């Protein structure tokens, strides 16, 4: 498209038009001195330092001060892996961190994390060598043969690792009934230090008990042989509520640290007081009155039954806000909750404000936060979105602000 002077003038005029309609910004129009990166209307993610601290203290109380291996995988459950680790590291209850991607482990070390880092994800020989060089512990479930010997000789230190035993989840982990050759091989190598042994529950409450029995029996066979298995761990957030007998030597939660109940039924127990440490916010970019019969959204997903005010917010499924939000989720603006209507498109959603003009351009819209009725679990319940998707699917490019 050719840029005419006319088009330039129109574009230039549009910005003050928005600014003048934003309370607090009207009249504050200053010449721009530094180039903008993000629009101040764009969505952002807030990470609540104090709530994280509170949740860790709660978990520690629940597990009688056992060490906590904080799962910070998938970009720190949406909060930014380095942000979360940086906030958690000073807490004495936190033993270390678990990630799935090698690059997350490296970025934690680059950000200055000194506590142990367990890599739950896959690696090749070169990856392992690079990980050991940076004191990152691999989770192992296949025979490594002489690889640790070579790496230990090169690094002049043993390869510390955790063994993963599959007791019924069927994904990674050596099957418990075939674990002996692997465990004995690792234990026999001077180049290896078994720092931990772990399993993952299926979170089927009855079968979990059988899984724990399999794990305990398997471990005790090796321990009777004199093999040191390091810290034994199994409990994710689910087990913090369901299986105190599975706390073992260390617990391994993710979601609970971030203050979110992984199952809605846990909210109605007094087992843990969790406070969400994550919020998603943006500012309203447009508010207008639809006339009775006017439509909104692709495919005219919404038809106004009466004259009604609606507001558009620049948050869509590309930002991580689920499409299903249009089927019952609410957004809080100026203290009131408004239903998401029509459809969630890639970069926008629309809320129904009602017969009065109660929302203006620039008002802050909260998608979820720590307040009752706008917690992530409320959104999840209202539109059948998993709380894990709500946080982990947040676009990593959104700005994160620690508050």
Ligand X SMILES: Cc1ncc(COP(=O)(O)O)c(C=O)c1O
Where do runs of H (alpha helix) occur along 22-72? 49-62
Q: Which stretch binds ligand X (CB under 6 A): 144-152, 175-183, 187-195, 230-238?
A: 230-238
Q: Which stretch binds ligand X (CB under 6 A): 38-46, 147-155, 246-254, 328-336?
A: 246-254
The residue from 75, 237, 374, 382 that contacts ligand X (CB under 6 A) is: 237
Is 66 a binding residue for ligand X by CB under 6 A? The answer is no
Minimum CB distance to ligand X, residue 93 (Å): 15
Q: Which stretch binds ligand X (CB under 6 A): 232-240, 317-325, 336-344, 393-401?
A: 232-240
Q: Which is nearer to ligand X, 218 or 236 (CB)?
A: 236
The residues in 251-270 that bind ligand X, with binding defined as CB under 6 A, are 252-256, 262
Site size toward ligand X (CB under 6 A) is: 12
Q: Which is nearer to ligand X, 121 or 297 (CB)?
A: 121
The DSSP-derived string for 238-280 is: HHHHH-GGG-TTEE--STTTTT--SSGGGGGSSS------EEE
Minimum CB distance to ligand X, residue 263 (Å): 9
Minimum CB distance to ligand X, residue 192 (Å): 21
* Neighbour-count burial of 286, counting CB atoms closer than 10 A to its CB (0-12 exposed, 13-18 middle, 19+ buried): middle
Minimum CB distance to ligand X, residue 380 (Å): 14
Is 392 a binding residue for ligand X by CB under 6 A? The answer is no
The residues in 184-213 that bind ligand X, with binding defined as CB under 6 A, are 200
Q: Which is nearer to ligand X, 266 or 338 (CB)?
A: 266
Closest Cα partner for 267 from 278, 259, 258? Answer: 259
The DSSP-derived string for 108-159 is: HHHTT--S-EEE-S---HHHHHHHHHTTEEEEE-S--TTHHHHHHHHHTS-E
Q: Which is nearer to ligand X, 246 or 342 (CB)?
A: 246
C-alpha dihedral, 63 to 69 to 75 to 80, nearest 10°: 80
Cβ-proximal residue to ligand X, closest one: 254
The residues in 36-55 that bind ligand X, with binding defined as CB under 6 A, are none
Rounded to a whole number of angstroms, the distance between the first and last alpha carbons of the chain is 43
Q: Residue 210: CA atoms inside 13 Å, Cβ hemisphere, count?
A: 9
Length of the chain: 403
Q: Residue 353: CA atoms inside 13 Å, Cβ hemisphere, count?
A: 27
Q: Which is nearer to ligand X, 76 or 158 (CB)?
A: 76
**197 three-state secondary structure:** strand
Minimum CB distance to ligand X, residue 142 (Å): 16
Is 62 a binding residue for ligand X by CB under 6 A? The answer is no
Residue 191 near residue 152, CB atoms below 8 Å: yes
Minimum CB distance to ligand X, residue 387 (Å): 9
Would strands 44-47 and 278-283 be described as parallel, antiparallel, or unpaired? Answer: antiparallel
Residue 201 near residue 171, CB atoms below 8 Å: no
Is 348 a binding residue for ligand X by CB under 6 A? The answer is no
The DSSP-derived string for 310-333 is: EEEES--GGGT--GGGGGT-EEEE
Minimum CB distance to ligand X, residue 109 (Å): 21
Is 120 a binding residue for ligand X by CB under 6 A? The answer is yes
Q: Which is nearer to ligand X, 22 or 182 (CB)?
A: 182
The residue from 60, 86, 113, 236 that contacts ligand X (CB under 6 A) is: 236
For ligand X, the binding residues (CB under 6 A) are 71, 120, 200, 236-238, 252-256, 262
């Amino acid at each position: 498209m050719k840029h005419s002077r006319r088009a330039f003038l129109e574009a230039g005029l549009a910005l003050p038009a928005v600014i003048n309609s934003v309370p607090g910004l009207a009249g504050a129009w200053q010449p721009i001195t530094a180039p903008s990166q993000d629009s101040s209307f764009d969505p952002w993610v807030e990470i609540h330092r104090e709530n994280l601290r509170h949740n860790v203290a709660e978990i520690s109380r629940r597990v009688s001060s056992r060490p906590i291996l904080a799962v910070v995988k998938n970009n720190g459950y949406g909060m930014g892996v380095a942000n979360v680790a940086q906030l958690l590291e000073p807490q004495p209850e936190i033993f270390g961190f678990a990630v799935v991607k090698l690059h997350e482990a490296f970025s934690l070390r680059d950000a200055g994390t000194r506590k142990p880092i367990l890599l739950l994800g896959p690696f090749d020989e070169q990856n392992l060598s690079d990980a050991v060089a940076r004191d990152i512990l691999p989770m192992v479930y296949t025979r490594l043969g002489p690889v640790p010997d070579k790496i230990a000789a090169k690094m002049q230190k043993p390869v510390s690792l955790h063994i993963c035993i599959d007791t019924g989840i069927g994904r990674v982990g050596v099957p418990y009934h075939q674990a002996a050759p692997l465990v004995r091989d690792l234990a026999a190598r001077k180049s290896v230090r078994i720092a931990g042994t772990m399993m993952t529950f299926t979170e089927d409450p009855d079968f979990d008990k059988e899984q724990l029995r399999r794990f305990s029996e398997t471990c005790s066979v090796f321990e009777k042989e004199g093999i040191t298995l390091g810290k034994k761990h199994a409990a994710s957030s689910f087990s913090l509520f369901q299986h105190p007998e599975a706390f073992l030597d260390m617990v391994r939660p993710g979601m609970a640290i971030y203050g979110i109940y992984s199952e809605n039924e846990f909210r109605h127990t007094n087992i843990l007081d969790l406070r969400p440490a994550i919020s998603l916010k943006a500012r309203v970019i447009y508010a207008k009155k639809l006339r009775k019969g006017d439509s909104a959204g692709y495919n005219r997903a919404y038809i106004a039954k009466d004259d009604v005010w609606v507001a558009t917010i620049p948050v869509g499924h590309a930002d991580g806000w689920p499409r299903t939000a249009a089927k019952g989720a609410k957004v809080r603006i100026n203290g009131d909750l408004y239903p998401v209507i029509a459809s969630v498109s890639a970069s926008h959603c629309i809320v129904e404000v009602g017969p009065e003009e109660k929302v203006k351009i620039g008002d802050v819209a909260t998608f979820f936060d720590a307040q009752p009725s706008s917690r992530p679990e409320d959104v999840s319940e209202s539109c059948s979105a998993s709380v894990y998707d709500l946080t982990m699917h947040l676009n990593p490019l959104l700005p994160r602000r620690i508050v």
